[in-house]
């Protein structure tokens, strides 16, 4: 799973969001390091939808335009949980190897 896909799935983990909501949430989650462009966002959304990890939730009118909201599917939740566990396990190894884990526990 790419970093962008991971962030997009994470942005949808606590509820449905529309495209611009996902862009903003990903920027917040990544502390400004990942700023999705529209072409990039819809490349990711298209791929995740094709893989059955996200699906449309609803459409709402906003300033005369329709906003389409997306949500995680059951498969999307499973895939995100597995990816999060993998990344957490990797992060734990990194912290141990850097000698940060013991210092944290002592602190």
Partner 1 sequence: MSGDLDLEQRYRRVLRLLPGYYRERWEDDMVGTFLDGWLTGDTEADEYISQAARPEWAEVASVACLAARLYLGGAGTPRRYFAWGQAVRRAVLAVMLVHAVLGLDVLVRTAWSRRLFGLPAPSAILTIFSPGGVWPTVYYLVNFAWIVIFVALVLGRYRTAQITAVLAIAAALVGLLQAQLTGIMPAPFASWAFWVPLSLAPALAMAAFHRDAPPPARWPWLLALPAGDLLVIVPLLALQASSNFAWVPDFPGQCCLLVALACLAYAPRAWSHRAAGSGAWSLALVLLAAAAGAYRIASLTEYLHDPHLIMVGLGELLILGTAAALVAPDAARAQAATPAQPPDPHPMAA
Task: Write the DSSP string, 3-70.
Answer: HHHHHHHHHTTTS-EEHHHHHHHHHHHTTTS----HHHHHHHHHHHHHTTSEEEEEEEEETTEEEEEE
55 touches partner 1 (CB under 8 A): yes
Shortest Cβ distance from residue 75 to partner 1 (Å)? Answer: 12
Shortest Cβ distance from residue 41 to partner 1 (Å)? Answer: 7
Residues in region 8-27 near partner 1 by CB under 8 A: 18-20, 23
- By DSSP bridging, strand 54-62 and strand 17-18 are unpaired
Shortest Cβ distance from residue 48 to partner 1 (Å)? Answer: 9
Name the residues that contact partner 1, by CB under 8 A: 2, 18-20, 23, 37-43, 45-47, 49-50, 52, 54-56, 58-59, 62-63, 65-68
């Amino acid at each position: 799973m790419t970093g962008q896909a991971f962030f997009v799935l994470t942005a949808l983990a606590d509820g449905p969001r529309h495209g611009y909501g996902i862009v903003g949430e990903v920027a917040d989650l990544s502390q400004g390091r990942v700023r999705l462009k529209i072409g990039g966002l819809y490349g990711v959304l298209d791929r995740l939808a094709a893989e059955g990890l996200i699906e449309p939730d609803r459409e709402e009118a906003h300033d005369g335009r329709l906003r389409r909201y997306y949500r995680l599917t059951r498969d999307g939740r499973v895939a995100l949980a597995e990816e999060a566990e993998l990344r957490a396990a990797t992060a734990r190894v990194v912290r141990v190897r850097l000698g940060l884990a013991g210092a944290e526990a002592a602190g």
